[in-house]
Structure 1
Amino acid sequence: MPELPEVETVRRTLEALVLDKKIKSVSVFWPKMVKKPEEVEQFKDGLVGQSIQEIGRRGKFLIIYTEKFALVSHLRMEGKYGLFQSDETVDLHTHVIFHFEDGTELRYKDVRKFGTMHLFEKGQEFTVLPLSQLGPEPFTEEFSISQLSEQLEKTNRSIKTALLDQKLVVGLGNIYVDEALFRSGIHPERKANSLNKKEIKKLHEEIVKTLSEAVEKGGSTIRSYVNSQGQIGMFQLELYVYGRKGEPCKVCASPLEKIVVGGRGTVFCPKCQKVK
């Protein structure tokens, strides 16, 4: 699933492609992608004549802003946006098309059909689900060491599971939680409320640094991720642990191990991330 660095890269590249384009019509080939499905016609009709003014992001969600609406889009596992000419062949897995007056089309492709789109009147998008209960953005002052410490003290879940909770901090998924924990020297099965102040400070620092570096590299292409311009990310070349089970640790050369934590495959170094 695309995490914050991948979604932020999609946001930037998508904004460069579609800003100020005016929507002529909308085609929806998989109604279940629109929440609520019974409102598909309102979804399509409401966007006609609207121009794309801004592409925002909240956690792993994209927000496409027009004059009147905020379209909240979650890419899930395989969702992709791309700009095409109207005479180009439509891929089998294209489920939503925004037809622009200039003859181009923004197409949403999703092999697994897991992606979702919510249409709100602008200003209402943060007052209801799916955005209303999200935690702080990791690049903001709201995500502070004290805030992280306060939240971790409240739970005896494993630190891996706690960091995957989007109510604690947004944007982290399996890739970047594993990476931040390795860089912090914290075992993924440690109880969140067992971390001391020094460990929490280090963890906070590495979460921000890891995500920042990943954004700079355009995200991580592990399976099929590409940005809105069809380019792959490059941060996968910098990964310390994720996807490297059995390979030598880049720090100590010990074989990396894989376990399941909270139902998620988790790779770590048994020497650099000792259980305490």
Structure 2
Amino acid sequence: MPELPEVETVRRGLAPVMEGALITRAEVRRADLRFPFPPDFAHRIENRRILALSRRAKYLLIELDNDDVVIAHLGMSGSFRVVEAASTDAETPGDFHHPRGKDERHDHVVLHLLSDRGPVQVIYNDPRRFGFMDIGPRETLASHAFFRQLGEEPTGNRLDAAYLAGRFADKAQPLKSTLLDQRVIAGLGNIYVCEALWRARLSPLKASGKLVDAKGRPRAPLVVLTEAIRAVIADAIAAGGSSLRDHIQTDGSLGYFQHTFAVYDREGKPCARPGCDGTIARITQAGRSTFHCASCQV
């Protein structure tokens, strides 16, 4: 499943085409994806202007001029394809390792837009149909079932060591599991948890509560971890996402962050940390693969 940097890359690729455009027609070619489309979904978005594209965790938010917001999730194989009237080429915003689906049999939603570029089609393609779309009023978005329990964004200023200390205090749960809890940090996934823990020199097996002192204050390693989380996400977004499975950028090229992973998917390889003679190991936590260096992550 795409992680936060991939979704942010998709958002940045779509924004120049979609923001300010008028949705002149919406084709919804099936009744459901992972979930059924809301009743009258196409009717509700037609003849509406797109004010902005934003993101919350791994969800894309298409903000309309009537205060409705379309919520889109890519699932395992979803992607958007942009086709401009003046071009025969299609761009797929995002950053995916293997080519994203372009088989028209899997084109489930087609948005016909009128923008300052002229007529444009934005096509949602999803072979596995694990993605979904919903719509709701902007004023109730925070209380929506998808969002009401989400924690802070790893890209926002509100994610700091004091916040994490409040969520880590007295927890015997391993760090890896706590960081994957979307109620703690929204949108932080398996890849970047592994990378952040390596940067912070912390074992994924370490009890979360050990990073908080008796007065509930963050210990020094938690300050370092917080900075590592923010840095690894920023680096991934700057590189265009992790370029893992099925991701392609707007210009069709692959991103490069996958070539700089320190631990993820590097089982049996030497640790990349200067001066460390350890080897990257893979363990399983809660059914997920964890990659770490036992020599320098303690």
Q: TM-score, normalised by structure 1?
A: 0.92
- Provide closer, same or farther for how the CA distance between residues 66 and 219 of structure 1 changes in structure 2, counting only shifts above 3 A: same
Cα separation, 2, equivalents of 1:193 and 1:236: 31
| Matched residue, 1:118 | 134
Q: Distance in 1 between matches of 2:76 and 2:169?
A: 31
Partner secondary structure for residue 171 of structure 2: coil
Counterpart in the other structure of 1:237: 259
User: What is residue 2 of structure 1 aligned with on the other side?
Assistant: 2
Tell me which residue corresponds to 2:23. 23
Deviates more, 1:245-254 or 1:164-173: 245-254
What pairs with 1:191-230 in structure 2 (closer than 5 Å)? 191-196=207-212, 197-230=219-252
In structure 1, the residue corresponding to 2:255 is in which secondary structure? coil
Q: Mean Cα displacement is larger for which, 62-71 or 250-259?
A: 250-259
Q: 1:35 to 1:50 in 2, by over 3 A?
A: farther
Matched-pair contact (CA < 8 Å) for 2:277–2:295: no
Q: Distance in 1 between matches of 2:134 and 2:182?
A: 18
Q: How does 1:83-98 map to 2 (within 5 A)?
A: 83-85=82-84, 91-98=104-111
Deviations 1:15-34 (A, max 9, x none): 01222221122122232237
Picking from 39, 52, 57, the partner of 1:59 is 57
Deviates more, 1:45-54 or 1:221-230: 221-230
Query: CA offsets per residue over residues 117-165 of structure 1, 9 Å max, x none?
Result: 1101232222211112211112323212111011011432211111111
Whole-angstrom CA distance in 2 between matches of 1:79 and 1:192:
34
How many residues matched?
A: 272
TM-score for both structures, normalised by structure 2: 0.85
What is the distance in 1 between the residues matched to 2:106 and 2:255?
22
Deviation of residue 203 (structure 1)? 0.6
Unaligned residue ranges in structure 2 (runs of 5+)? 89-101, 213-218
Q: Provide the secondary structure at the position in 1 that maps to 2:112.
A: strand
- Which residue is equivalent to 2:95? none
Does the CA contact (< 8 Å) of 1:72 and 1:118 recur in 2?
yes
Q: Separation in 1 of the partners of 2:253 and 2:49?
A: 25
Q: Give the match for residue 80 of structure 2.
A: 81
Deviation (angstroms), 1:59: 1.1
Measured in 2, the distance between the counterparts of 1:63 and 1:227 equals 19
1:50 maps to 2:48: yes
Over aligned residue pairs, what C-alpha RMSD do you find?
2.0
DSSP-derived class of the 2:140 partner: coil
Match for residue 113 of structure 2?
100
Which AA in structure 2 matches 1:93? H
Please name the residue that 2:70 is paired with.
71
Please give the alpha-carbon distance, in whole angstroms, between the structure 1 residues aligned to 2:195 and 2:235: 12
Which amino acid in 2 is paired with 1:100? L
CA distance in 2, matches of 1:90, 1:77: 16
What pairs with 1:242-257 in structure 2 (closer than 5 Å)?
A: 242-251=264-273, 252-257=276-281
1:27–1:98 contact (8 Å) kept in structure 2: yes
Matches within 5 A, 1:123-202: 123-196=139-212, 197-202=219-224
